[in-house]
Amino acid sequence: MNLKYTSDGLIPAIIQDGITKNVLMLGYMNEASFKITQDSKRVTFYSRSKQRLWTKGEESGNFLHVLDIKLDCDNDTLLIQVKPEGPTCHTGSDTCWNESNTSNFGFLSQLEQKIDERRTNADPNNSYVASLFAKGINKLAQKVGEEAVEVVIEAKDDNHALFLNESADLLFHYLMLLQAKGFKLEDIERVLKNREK
């Protein structure tokens, strides 16, 4: 890699979880720490405050195991994808922004949160979601079954709009059923990852 270091011999390194894609921290590397990182597959920085090399986790045991190293288009910033071993921040937080390092499925995660809010706070007389939860697990499971059958029926036809709408209905009701059972999409993701082995 043709790295462009700053005048003080450093290059910023953004550390990202290779699975969740969450940014965990930002550190700086010099030529020596970058070489150690490549060779050891453990992230090693140059500490500007201590004026020395330090491997993340050398004291805490919370190492950052390198999965991939990418260089940006200007060759002056690294993106290092890692598998973290424990929390990343010295405060004990998963990230240096005090955020949880959990999977985020974009809009689907927002939808999960909205379902949870309605399940918990909405009046069943004014909320479809709250009314289904109020009817219990059997009704939710039945609704998922009905939506699954409708997806199968639409899959056999050529009306793409109907197929997509029924698929959206199935996913929506499945997210509700997951919550009724005390689970989220990240639990399903974990099962699928375990099957990958």
Tens digit of each residue's pLDDT (9 = 90 or more) over 166-189: 999 999 999 999 999 999 999 999
The domain segmentation of the chain, as residue ranges, is 11-84, 107-195
CATH number of 11-84: 3.10.20.810
Sheet holding 11-17, edge to edge: 23-29, 11-17, 78-84, 64-71
List phi, psi (to 5°) of 88: -90, -40
Fold of 107-195: Helix Hairpins (1.10.287)
Ordered DSSP codes for 120-188:
HHS-TTT-HHHHHHHH-HHHHHHHHHHHHHHHHHHHTSS-HHHHHHHHHHHHHHHHHHHHHTT--HHHH
- Strands 78-84 and 64-71 come out as antiparallel
Q: What is the pLDDT of residue 193?
A: 87
Q: Which two tokens stand for residue 20?
A: 């969740």
In this prediction the pTM is: 0.75
Q: Which two tokens stand for residue 146?
A: 């009905």
154-158: average pLDDT: 95
Give tens-digit pLDDT for 2-13: 999 999 999 999
